[in-house]
Structure 1
Amino acid sequence: MRAMELARFTVDPSDVEAMLQARPAMLAALRERFAGFESLRLVRLDEWTWLDVVVWASRAQADEAAAKIGEIPQCRAAFAFIKEMVSMEHAEIFFAGDRAA
């Protein structure tokens, strides 16, 4: 069953452009390193607060990635702009409008 990762974090508004510039390299690294990686969406909730919405092929693959992501230089570079990690949750996807879960 597919899984979703929801990571809520804050970024200083003065760092937003640099954080966004680091994202394409992070995305490429996720695709290269983790076979279960399916998609990444970055959404802005307010001036300081952001949410990464990541879809994985399975919960086990999401958990594996969470344990190893800090080892990937491109991910560390993108994460360097995070001021506070507010929350991190994983959930199983039971229904998806884009395709079957």
Structure 2
Amino acid sequence: MTTVELTRFRVLAEKTEELLAARADMLKDFEADRAGFLRARLVQLPDNEWLDIVDWATPEDFATSREKGPNLPGIARFFAAIDSLVVAEEGVIAR
């Protein structure tokens, strides 16, 4: 069952370009290092908030990824551009 990670966060306006520049490398690192990673979509919201929607093959894949944290340079650069976490949630695709 496809698991969806929903992470809403804030980025300071002056770090927006840094966040976007790091995104491609973060995705490459996820593809290389994260079993069960399916895809990710980044949504810009009002007031310097963003929503990252990441699909995982299983809840276990997502849990394992979370344990690894920012273990690779591209992931670390992306995370470093984030100012604060608003909310992180997990769900499944309803069929």
Q: So what's the TM-score if we normalise by structure 2?
A: 0.94
Residue of structure 2 equivalent to 1:27: 27
Q: So what's the TM-score if we normalise by structure 1?
A: 0.89
CA deviation profile, 1:9-54 (whole Å, cap 9, x unmatched) = 0001111111100100000000000120000000011131001000
Residue of structure 1 equivalent to 2:14: 14
Residue of structure 2 equivalent to 1:50: 50
Q: How much has 1:73 moved relative to structure 2?
A: 2.1
Matched, 1:2 2:13: no
Alpha-carbon distance between aligned partners in 2 of 1:66 and 1:88, rounded to the nearest angstrom: 11
Gaps of 5+ in 1: 96-101
Residue of structure 2 equivalent to 1:98: none
3-state SS of 2:27 partner: helix
For this pair of structures, how many residues does the alignment match?
Answer: 95
- Report sequence identity in percent: 35
Deviates more, 1:7-16 or 1:68-77: 68-77
Alpha-carbon distance between aligned partners in 2 of 1:51 and 1:64, rounded to the nearest angstrom: 21
Deviates more, 1:8-17 or 1:68-77: 68-77
CA deviation profile, 1:39-74 (whole Å, cap 9, x unmatched) = 000001113100100000011101111111222221
CA contact (8 A) 1:13 1:47 kept: no
The AA in structure 2 aligned to 1:78 is F
After superposing on structure 2, the runs of 4+ consecutive aligned residues of structure 1 that deviate more than 6 Å are: none
The AA in structure 1 aligned to 2:80 is A
The AA in structure 1 aligned to 2:86 is V
